[in-house]
């Protein structure tokens, strides 16, 4: 099969504007405009590469459309040594990006470059001023579709990893730290002394409660379990008793239970009014002192104390100060308090109307941060995944 090559004549076609032709040739051959301009200096320059006759004709037509003279030679006809690659002209579609038109100086009709106007018939070279070539607008690149599948897979992976991390950190955040984490010098016996306080009343949710102080009371301990009494699903406090001042129950340990580490060998669980304790291994119960544990019903109407109380978590070292007290309201509800650490069973819990509450050592802050972050990340990724799912569904319906 015969092969052909191209040679640039080095001349512009009649009516072509040099600046536009240089720019189009530079874009087609991927040259600078200075280099492209050097190939239009009247000297012939062969292009490197062999083409079929059809491709060679298409390439020449593309060059002529931008106003550049070009000849076709059969390979072996003794053409000049090639100096440029003709790769840019092997695919005619590339030339279409730089195709040019020209405007007749007489009738202003737009048409392909040539010597005679296709509408009015004037000869451009004799008219006095050349026709003005105009470059065709470049084709807009096709917009890439949004990668729904790839992004969805990535978000699903983030959700799964975040949930796994949330489950793990949820377990770790409530582990009891070793004894050396705590200020054990403060973890002595609770201080209970006679009080001079007189009975008083407070109001919550439209109900008036009567508080009868029995002793001044101060306790430093480690929180091992807790129960929120002000939640709506605690029907005893919320519905039956209408007890709106018992904000939270804290089960705490102190003394030798902490310094010996015996508290870490036990498991704890709070219900509505009781703290349950069980040993995790042989001998653990013998080392644990039951008189160094108490379940405390904590009462307050002070918003600052309430906020501090609600921020306490398992493993924290806390200090509370207030009144061991009985309390009641006119609806028939009343609750007493234990005044001894050695009693057990019904009525053994301490009821304390708080004057002050503080957390002196905050436990497991790193794991608690990991837990909150992983839950937030999982929820955010799940939300975006849901939006993408419905977005892809809507796009599928439109398409």
Distance between CA atoms of residues 221 and 237, nearest Å: 25
DSSP labels, 171-230: HHTTSPPPGGGS-GGG--PPEEEE--PPPEEEEETTEEEEEEEEEEEEEEEEEEEEEETT
pLDDT in tens, 131-142: 555 555 555 666
Residue carrying the six token digits 């799940």: 382
What pLDDT, on the 0 to 100 scale, is given for residue 118?
A: 65
Task: Compare 58 and 210 and report the one with higher pLDDT.
Answer: 210
For the record, the structure tokens of 243 come out as 């007890």
**Contact of 379 with 367, CB cutoff 8 Å:** no
pLDDT band at 82 (very low <50, low <70, confident <90, very high): very low
Q: What are phi and psi of 250, to 5 degrees?
A: -120, 125
pTM for this model (two decimals): 0.60
Mean pLDDT for 94-120 is 60
pLDDT in tens, 30-45: 778 887 888 888 888 8
pLDDT in tens, 351-394: 999 999 999 999 999 999 999 999 999 999 999 988 888 877 77
What pLDDT, on the 0 to 100 scale, is given for residue 140?
A: 64
Distance between CA atoms of residues 65 and 23, nearest Å: 13
pLDDT in tens, 161-194: 999 999 999 999 999 999 999 999 999 999 999 9
Mean pLDDT for 117-125 is 70
Mean pLDDT estimate for the chain: 84
Mean pLDDT for 227-240 is 79
**Helix 365-398 to helix 148-172 angle, to the nearest 10 degrees?**
160
What pLDDT, on the 0 to 100 scale, is given for residue 145?
A: 77
pLDDT band at 83 (very low <50, low <70, confident <90, very high): very low
DSSP labels, 324-384: EEEEEETTS-EE-----SS--STT-SEEEEEEEEEEEE---HHHHHHHHHHHHHHHHHHHH
């Amino acid at each position: 099969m015969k092969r052909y090559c191209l040679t640039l004549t080095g001349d512009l076609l009649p009516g072509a504007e040099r600046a536009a032709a240089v720019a189009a040739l530079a874009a087609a051959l991927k040259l600078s405009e200075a280099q492209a301009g050097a190939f239009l200096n009247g000297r012939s320059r062969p292009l490197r590469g062999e083409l079929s006759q059809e491709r060679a004709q298409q390439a020449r037509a593309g060059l002529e459309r931008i106003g550049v003279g070009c000849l076709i030679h059969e390979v072996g006809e003794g053409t000049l040594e090639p100096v440029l690659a003709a790769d840019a002209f092997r695919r005619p579609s590339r030339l279409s990006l730089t195709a040019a038109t020209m405007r007749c100086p007489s009738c202003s009709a737009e048409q392909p470059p040539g010597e005679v106007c296709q509408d009015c018939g004037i000869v451009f070279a004799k008219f006095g001023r050349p026709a003005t070539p105009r470059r065709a607008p470049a084709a807009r690149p096709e917009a890439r579709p949004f990668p729904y599948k790839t992004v969805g897979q990535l978000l699903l992976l983030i959700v799964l990893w975040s949930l796994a991390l949330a489950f793990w950190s949820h377990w770790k955040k409530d582990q009891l730290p070793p004894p050396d984490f705590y200020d054990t010098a403060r973890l002595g016996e609770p201080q209970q002394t006679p009080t001079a306080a007189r009975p008083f009343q407070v109001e919550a949710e439209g109900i008036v409660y009567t508080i009868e102080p029995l002793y001044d009371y101060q306790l430093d301990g480690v929180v091992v379990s807790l129960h929120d009494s002000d939640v709506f699903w605690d029907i005893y406090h919320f519905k039956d008793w209408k007890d709106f001042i018992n904000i939270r129950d804290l089960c705490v340990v102190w003394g030798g239970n902490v310094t010996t580490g015996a508290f870490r060998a036990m498991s704890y669980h709070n219900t509505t009014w009781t703290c349950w304790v069980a040993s995790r291994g042989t001998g653990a119960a013998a080392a644990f002192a039951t008189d160094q544990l108490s379940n405390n019903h904590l009462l307050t109407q002070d918003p600052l104390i309430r906020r501090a109380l609600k921020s306490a978590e398992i493993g924290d070292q806390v200090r509370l100060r207030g009144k061991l007290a009985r309390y009641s309201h006119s609806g028939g509800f009343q609750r007493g308090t234990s005044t001894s650490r050695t009693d057990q069973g019904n009525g053994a819990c301490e009821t304390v109307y708080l004057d002050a509450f503080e957390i002196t050592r905050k436990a497991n802050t790193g794991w608690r941060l990991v837990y909150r972050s992983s839950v937030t990340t999982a929820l955010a990724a799940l939300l975006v995944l849901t939006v993408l799912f419905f977005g892809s569904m809507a796009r599928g319906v439109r398409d």
